[in-house]
Amino acid sequence: MPSTDLSLDELSRLIDLIYQGADDARPWQRCLERLREALQANYATLILRPCGPADSGLMIHAGAVSNGALGAYGSTYYALDPFVGLPPGEVHTVAEILGEARWRASDFYRQFNAPLDVLHVLGADLAPQHGIECRLRICRPHQAPDFSAADKAFCARLLPHLRRAIRLHGQFTRSETERQLYASAVERLRIGTVILDERHQVLESNRAAAALLAEDDGLSLLDGSLQATFTRDNQALQRLIAQALHERDQPGPRIAEAITLLRPSGRAGLGVLVQSLPRQDSSDGRQPAVVVFLRDPARKASVGPQSLRQLFGFTPAEAALAIHLANGHSLEEAGALLNIRRNTVKAHLRSIFAKAGVNRQSELTYALHSSLAFLCHAPADD
């Protein structure tokens, strides 16, 4: 028989899983499994979706049900579910809201629940968060008794924590989306970023930085720290990092400092910019303290012909020529690479100038590099 005397220890474990679930890859999966076991149910489900039919949202489920059934609920039966619109933050059974006879006669029960061996349903609707509907549903089979008052009280204790965890999950998701957006923009511009902690140790780096460090040409990673190849450059780099760390505790704006590192290969120097990061509390003891930006003049940001055509109205031939000019080629070099005659190159150039609103090749290069074209093109793998 299902328990009607769930312990405070069980409640504490579930609350812990609720908050852990806000940051899990599959949010609240472990919490729902535990809740299903605690209430001796066959299914437990949490549904988060926008207040509209166009988006199926997120549905987390515990219990042995097929993906087909879950998909059918999200696409069809969600709209037919009569056990909806519950008073926010209250726990009710389907029999209390609809009455058992009406529940058994509903299309939703006969077509969806009965085949899954679901008769008893305990549910709660949480107040919408930023236009999101939230439904918690716990189900028991036909041979089991209905949920008791103690079961309902136990679930009611969880709801405030679940509401806060859902809000945290939304904040985490938005922050991660913004982080990925900005990181993608930096990658497309071929700017390397390295995050250091207070001990000068590398916490993380992006792909562009990893590629530069792997070359070991002017800058490398030694025992987890950034090291310039030449002694004088390394002294200057470490001084800038130490200065940035010191500035974290100083009032006023944080000023970025830059240097150029010589490279044994003889290639153009590696540009380095160092800036402190705001101090934050960190639970793992390793705080992001300094960001180091890296720029290799030889690694030009990629731009695709489609973005130039969309932004400037270039033809395919004009876009191809504009890309070569933006990459520093002369008219003669660009014509040879594209295998077109000099007169054709000049004709394309006149049209490109007119569409870009410039008069000289240097102005064109500036216009292209300062446009959004470089953010429309995914960075190529190095």
Domain spanning 195-295, CATH architecture: 2-Layer Sandwich (3.30)
Mean pLDDT for the stretch of residues 119-125:
95
Q: How far apart are CA 16 and CA 21, in angstroms?
A: 9
Instruction: Average the pLDDT over each of 173-182, 202-211, 241-250 and give the range with the smallest value.
Output: 173-182
Q: How far apart are CA 126 and CA 85, in angstroms?
A: 10
Tell which residue, 249, 189, 206, 154, has the closest CA to residue 370: 189
Tell which residue, 117, 113, 108, has the closest CA to residue 81: 108
Q: Specify the pLDDT at position 323.
A: 87
Tell which residue, 42, 241, 297, has the closest CA to residue 144: 42
Residue 94, Cβ neighbours under 10 Å: how many?
29
As a whole number, the mean pLDDT across the chain is 86
pLDDT digits (tens, 9 = 90+) for 150-166: 999 999 999 999 999 98
Q: Specify the pLDDT at position 279.
A: 79
Mean pLDDT for the stretch of residues 319-348:
90
Q: For residue 290, what is the enclosing H or E element?
A: strand 290-295
CATH topology of domain 8-177: Beta-Lactamase (3.30.450)
pLDDT digits (tens, 9 = 90+) for 18-52: 999 988 888 999 999 999 999 999 999 998 876 55
Q: Specify the pLDDT at position 1.
A: 41
Q: Which of 55-69, 87-101, 243-257 has the highest mean pLDDT?
A: 87-101
CATH number of 305-375: 1.10.10.10
| CA distances, 147 to each of 161, 225, 252, 359 (Å) | 21, 59, 60, 78
Q: How far apart are CA 272 and CA 193, in angstroms?
A: 10
Q: How confident is the model at residue 114 (pLDDT cuts 50, 70, 90)?
A: very high
Q: How confident is the model at residue 182 (pLDDT cuts 50, 70, 90)?
A: confident
pLDDT digits (tens, 9 = 90+) for 266-324: 999 999 999 998 877 655 567 889 999 999 988 776 777 888 888 899 999 999 999 88
- Where in the chain are the domains? 8-177, 195-295, 305-375
Q: Say yes or no to pLDDT of 53 above 70.
A: no
Mean pLDDT for the stretch of residues 64-87:
80
Tell which residue, 316, 304, 363, has the closest CA to residue 340: 316
Percentage of the chain surpassing pLDDT 70? Answer: 91
Q: Is the pTM of this model over 0.75?
A: no
Q: Specify the pLDDT at position 48.
A: 86
Domains 8-177 and 305-375 share a fold: no
Residue 105, Cβ neighbours under 10 Å: how many?
11
Q: Specify the pLDDT at position 8.
A: 84
Q: Specify the pLDDT at position 269.
A: 93
Q: Specify the pLDDT at position 176.
A: 81
